[in-house]
Amino acid sequence: TKLHGPEEWNTDTLARVQREGPDVGDLAQWKLEGKERPAWQEISNRSPTFKGYWALWDSLGVENNLLKTYRYAVHESTGKTPASVVFGAELRLPIDLISDRPKEEEGVDNYLSRLQDRLRLTRTEVRQKLKLESDRMKTRYDLRANTGGFQVGEKVWLYNPKRTKGKSPKLRKSWEGLHRLVFEESPFKGVTQILSEELPKESAIRAMC
């Protein structure tokens, strides 16, 4: 597809051209719809170019209905593009090359001063956004946590990973039980010292609450 004239170069036109393209159209549509990465068997008969874009699935993102690569796309966790965080400015796309140069040129000192201020502000905003995302993830994780602890006499599973010579850790079950809790002592928050009737005498195992 060829575009004629600067007036036709806009986001909507580029998005339409992407979705009509034989090599990137389906990928752009799948990303726009939020679908999962298709299996290799589903795209094995597609062109080499399509397979190349498919291999970059995790580094592709959608912004303003336009498929972009990792460096150009705004990340949900930071709210910024990687380029703006690292360089303090957005990378120029090929579409930007057809625009005219700025009419007013600024000096080096003014440019450096503005760049430093922009980087400082951007990274402050990113740190705040990352902290909010981290707190949100912790809140969701803690919803499934056992905040009430265990009671004496309750049956529990024990997470007791071991390494056995000649056997891969992947093939061994790390959870043991069921065991009965016969006494409880909690010197640290979230950790319970337990002695199980099913275990050898005087053996203590720490289980995460």
- Better-predicted residue by pLDDT, 39 or 178: 39
Residue 14 lies in a domain: yes
Query: Do 162 and 128 share a domain, yes or no?
Result: no
Number of domains in the chain: 2
Among 182, 186, 190, 185, CA closest to 146: 190
Query: Do 56 and 99 share a domain, yes or no?
Result: yes
Instruction: Give residue 208's pLDDT.
Output: 41
Residue 77 pLDDT > 50, yes or no? Answer: yes
Query: Do 172 and 82 share a domain, yes or no?
Result: no
Instruction: Give residue 149's pLDDT.
Output: 67
Query: Do 90 and 180 share a domain, yes or no?
Result: no
Residue 125 pLDDT > 60, yes or no? Answer: yes
Instruction: Give residue 36's pLDDT.
Output: 82
Please list the alpha-helical segments (H only) found in the chain.
Answer: 11-20, 25-32, 40-43, 48-55, 82-87, 108-142
Q: In this structure, are residues 177 and 205 in contact, taking their beta carbons and an 8 Å threshold?
A: no
180: left (phi over 0), alpha (psi -120 to 50) or beta: beta
Measured between alpha carbons, how far is residue 99 from residues 3, 4, 78 in Å? Answer: 15, 14, 29
End-to-end CA distance of the chain: 60
User: Best-predicted range by mean pLDDT among 3-7, 46-50, 119-123?
Assistant: 119-123
Q: Output the pTM of the full model.
A: 0.44
Query: Do 192 and 106 share a domain, yes or no?
Result: no
Query: Do 39 and 117 share a domain, yes or no?
Result: yes
User: Best-predicted range by mean pLDDT among 134-138, 146-150, 168-172?
Assistant: 134-138
